[in-house]
Amino acid sequence: MSDHSGVWLGAAERALRAAPPTALPAAAEELLIRYMGARAVTLLLADYSLTALQPVTRLPHTGEAVLVRDGLPATRAFAAGAPVVEVVDEPGLVVVHLPVTVRGDRIGVLSVRLPEPGQGASAVLEMADFATALGHELVVADRNTDLYLQGRRRRRLTLAAEMQWQLLPGRGFEVAEYTLGGHLEPAYAIGGDNFDWSATDDTLNITVTDGQGHGIDAALLTNLTINALRNARRAEISLEDQACLADQAVYAEYGGKRYAPSLLLHFDLETGRAHGIDAGSPQLFRLRDDIVERVEFQPEAPLGMFEETDYHQQPFQVLPGDRLVVVSSGVHGSSAQGAGSHAFGEHALRETIAATRTASPHETARAVVDGLVQHRHGAELSQDAAVVCLDWRGRTRALP
């Protein structure tokens, strides 16, 4: 192991950047062997449903999946977003499980078997920084190779699901003012539900869209809607005009025969002032002071239902400590199987949100979907389900 604590990290990050996109796992292993005395290194990528970590061996093939529900050290590191040190049978050796993340978006875990670090916690933190650098390189590599996208798959995606996952901004994002986590199901066959977000220095925009229909038709509708909203947003026009232009784009294509229920949200980071446009079925819930309540807006027509609809934003306020959860109709309107079935509904949603108040936004979003699956007695969802969870801290002003 290197005696130059901390010095190795910069050189290792430069070596990662210089490695070919397809050689990142091998490069990471070589660097950790050279600088940290590692005996074995395994990259585990989170699968699309976030139910398993896939050990990457010779891409695009993977080893046996590590199931998240089993609560093993690697999955604990993934869920907590923090290193976990596992004591193993071999004397003097440990396995350090390091979360691989990019600005709050969880990608997987890097598991490193090595002699117990002489520098203790500082060495673990250095390796955690190395795992984060690897995460950034993996995201860049996805622009040029399919290998890591393939490595995450436990089975083949439908074409509609392929389109939807490529449309996402990510599944998590974190800055000083807030943390975001999102989840889609059925992960390998999602059709029309989707979410999008975009940040500036002073604002945050979130959209949840419930594309009408199933399969490729729903995916095409949602792709048009999301890209129309992005096009309008990037023109730096108001939230109301963004909705109007997207509405016109969808109506021009489908003539009102198909439409895209959506919830548009805009947040001011400095003040916590927010505005929403309820253009359809997604619903917003807020957890504040252990009380879960629905934030309701005056409902307006879904995007694309009518020609030249006028939309009106409605104000609300977020406070430090608030948790907001947005769910598509596949969550709040989903029914269980069998005669006499009932909708998952607002009561179950409130209970799930309250029960997960200490969990991360990522885990909360997944827990809402898990609750829906349990409500359906373990059956695969017949409707798309999208969930976005936002933990709001707000902007802390520096003291004069």
Q: Is the overall model pTM greater than 0.95, yes or no?
A: no
* Residue 2 within any structural domain of the chain: no
Q: What is the Cα–Cα distance from 49 to 46, expressed in whole angstroms?
A: 8
pLDDT of 1 above 50: no
Q: What is the CATH number of the domain that holds 179?
A: 3.60.40.10
Tell me, yes or no, whether 229 and 92 share the same domain: no
Chosen domain end from 104, 121, 151: 151
Q: Give the residue from 101, 119, 151 where a domain finishes.
A: 151
Q: Which of 95, 127, 151 is the last residue in one of the domains? A: 151
Q: Same domain for 134 and 28?
A: yes
In the chain, how many domains are there?
A: 2
What pLDDT does 332 receive? 75
Domain containing 198 equals: 159-392
Q: Is residue 398 part of a domain?
A: no
Phi, psi of 103 (to 5 degrees): 50, 45
Nearest Cα residue to 365 out of 272, 281, 280, 285: 285
Pair 243, 368 in one domain: yes
- The stretch 251-276 carries a mean pLDDT of 97
Instruction: For residue 77, give the CATH number of its domain.
Output: 3.30.450.40
> Do residue 74 and residue 181 come from a single domain?
no
Residue 58 binned pLDDT confidence (cut-offs 50, 70, 90):
confident
Same domain, residue pair 108 and 228: no
Please give the mean pLDDT across all residues of the chain. Answer: 90
Which residues have a Cβ under 8 Å from the Cβ of 261 and sit 6 or more positions away?
Answer: 209, 210, 212, 279, 280, 281, 282, 302, 303, 329
Give yes or no: residues 175 and 306 share one domain. Answer: yes
CA gap 275, 265 in Å, rounded: 6
pLDDT score of 293 more than 90:
yes
